[in-house]
């Protein structure tokens, strides 16, 4: 059994309004730091996943991302890092 460490970022899908991102954008504009920053908020997760090989562990990670960490109706996820421990 091999063990891997993965970093996952979950963000709202394109076209889904991100009110928290918009609020940060407004603050940046108001303070004059940056005119339009296109801020997008999201969530970061880091976790260990085991598997017989890389393909198996990645498939498991995919299920975790789809079923637990994100909701495909409005969110998408991206595996930022996947390394063997």
Partner 1 sequence: MKAGIIVFPGTNCDIDTEKACKYFGWETEFIWHDDTELNKYDIIFLPGGFSYGDYIRAGRLAKFSPAVMSLKDYVKTKRGFLVGICNGFQILCETKLLPGILSTNTNTKFICEEVELEVNHDGFPKSVKFAIAHGEGRYIADEQTLQGIQAKNMIFLRYKNNPNGSVLDIAGLYDKENRIIGMMPHPERGVFSETGNIDGKYFFEMLNKALTKETVAAT
Q: Does 73 bind partner 1 (CB under 8 A)?
A: yes
Cβ(79)–Cβ(4) below 8 Å? no
Q: State which residue, 19 or 32, has the beta carbon closest to partner 1.
A: 19
Q: Does 20 bind partner 1 (CB under 8 A)?
A: yes
Kindly calculate the radius of gyration of the chain based on its CA atoms and give it in whole angstroms: 16
Q: Does 14 bind partner 1 (CB under 8 A)?
A: no
Helix (H) or strand (E) holding 5: strand 2-12
Q: How far apart are CA 57 and CA 28, in angstroms?
A: 40
Q: Which residues between 24 and 63 bind partner 1 (CB under 8 A)?
A: 43
Q: State which residue, 4 or 77, has the beta carbon closest to partner 1.
A: 77
Q: Where are the beta strands (DSSP E) in the chain?
A: 2-12, 42-51, 75-84
Chain contacts with partner 1 (rule: CB under 8 A): 12, 16-17, 19-20, 23, 43, 68-69, 71, 73-74
């Amino acid at each position: 059994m091999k063990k891997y460490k993965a970093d996952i970022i979950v963000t709202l899908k394109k076209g889904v309004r991100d009110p928290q991102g918009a609020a940060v954008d407004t603050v940046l504009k108001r303070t004059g730091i940056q005119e339009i920053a296109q801020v997008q908020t999201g969530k970061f997760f880091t976790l260990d996943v085991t598997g017989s090989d890389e393909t198996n562990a990645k498939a498991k990670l995919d299920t975790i991302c789809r079923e637990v960490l994100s909701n495909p109706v409005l969110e998408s996820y991206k595996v930022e890092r996947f390394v063997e421990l």
